[in-house]
Amino acid sequence: MKQDKNEKTAAPLKVVDGIRGTVPRLAGKIALREASADDLRVLLAFLERGAEHLSRDAGVSPARAEAALDYWREAGILSEGAGETEETAEPKRPLRLSDELKPATGEENARIIRRRNLSDAIDEAQRILGKTFNTSEIAIVAGLSEQLELEPAYLVTLISWCRNRGKTSLRYVERTAFSLVSEGVETLPQLEAYISRREAAASGIGQIRKLFGIGERALSKDEEKRFTRWIADEKFSLDVIGFAYDETVNKTGKASSAYADKLLKVWREAGVSGSVEEIERYIERERAERAVAGKGKTPKHDPIPQTYDSGDFFARALERSYNKKD
């Protein structure tokens, strides 16, 4: 059925809106020109069949398929979240309570302090912060202990860590406590391990900030987690992270830590993330293997041309997607 020109329709398969029948914006054109054969196979397979069996349909590993999807998302050709399912999305642990402490009377707070043995912890917290707590601040400490079930030593350690970071407000401590509990950091050993990871990554994160041009702005929660994991858990060298940055900019036209994370994951799973030299040899080996595999092989679907016009390629891919929907 012919559609009215003014009528808007939603793009199928989560392809970004507003690009049907047009050449993608500059970032998209660059991405299409710079895409690897695997990236293109994943895009075509996703447009034709969706994400359920994407790795199998595209003939690549699951990690490679995930990295390719993220490449197209970063280029603006697929929308954020395209290809994610309930099974692949990272589960989020909800807070057990609201984002604010439930109010309590002075008598209730006094009972909490006695029952949970908080007197010494409050005295130590006041010493750490160099001030005497008012009624509202005492209520925050009592509320965190009672409602989040945090032990006194946990609270003292958390307040001390916040103070070392230049944060002396009990409201900041409250927000931090809720955030940590939502991530499963609920006991003193878990908190100590969390702080150790953060401190181990601190110097490296400063260099990563400069590399990705983040400047002085605060890191997002995802960025902070990602950078800490790179340095403290996965122990990537700054040279390898820098190489991932270069590859990301070359492929997407922008500094995306999310896409760099996908590249690092692929290299780690391939066992080549120890040095830039290992990664470069791996990339060359992959290219050579794809070239050999592509010779004389009859593809099940339309072959991906060795040379192509980015606008024509993209138009054909979208047209197939829309025709399939109709």
Instruction: Quick: pLDDT tens for 2-30.
Output: 444 444 443 333 444 333 333 344 555 66
SS (H, E, C) 270-325: CCCCCCHHHHHHHHHHHHHHHHHHHCCCCCCCCCCCCCCCHHHHHHHHHHHHHHHH
Same domain for 53 and 36? yes
Domain membership of residue 5 (yes or no) is no
Judgement on whether residues 59 and 143 belong to the same structural domain of the protein: no
Residue corresponding to tokens 């994943």: 42
Asked which of 159, 182, 205 is the last residue of a domain, the reply is 182
| pLDDT of 157 above 90 | yes
Whether residue 218 is contained in a domain is answered as: yes
In a domain, 158, yes or no: yes
Please check whether residues 204 and 274 belong to one and the same domain.
yes
**pLDDT confidence tier of residue 101, bands split at 50, 70 and 90:** low
Q: What is the mean pLDDT of the chain?
A: 76
Count of domains for the chain:
3
pTM of the prediction? 0.49
What does the pLDDT average to over 115-128?
94
Query: Do 161 and 209 belong together in one domain?
Result: no
Residue 319's pLDDT band (boundaries 50, 70, 90)?
Answer: low
- The answer to the question of residue 226 being in a domain is yes
Among 182, 199, 219, the domain-final residue is 182
**What are phi and psi for residue 15, nearest 5 degrees?**
-70, 145
158 and 82 belong to one structural domain = no
Q: How far apart are CA 227 and CA 234, in angstroms?
A: 10
- What pLDDT, on the 0 to 100 scale, is given for residue 296? 53
Greatest mean pLDDT among 72-81, 103-112, 211-220, 253-262: 253-262
Q: What is the pLDDT of residues 203-212, one digit of tens each?
A: 788 888 888 8
Inside any domain, residue 292: no
Domain co-membership, 51 together with 113: no
Q: Are residues 206 and 281 in the same domain?
A: yes
Question: Domain check: are 176 and 203 in the same one?
Answer: no
pLDDT value for 82:
57
Judgement on whether residues 198 and 264 belong to the same structural domain of the protein: yes
Give yes or no for residue 119 having a pLDDT over 70: yes
pLDDT for residue 114 is more than 50: yes
Domain assignment of residue 200, yes or no: yes
- Tell me if 41 is assigned to some domain: yes
Is 130 a residue whose pLDDT tops 70?
yes
Containing structural domain, residue 233: 191-286
- What is the average pLDDT across 130-151? 92
Q: Tell me which of 138, 157, 182 is where a domain ends.
A: 182
Could you tell me if 219 and 269 lie in one domain?
yes
Asked whether residue 29 falls in the same domain as residue 81, the answer is yes
Amino acid at 137: E
Residue 267 lies in a domain: yes
Judgement on whether residues 196 and 178 belong to the same structural domain of the protein? no
Where residue 20 falls (left for φ over 0; alpha for ψ -120 to 50; beta otherwise) is beta
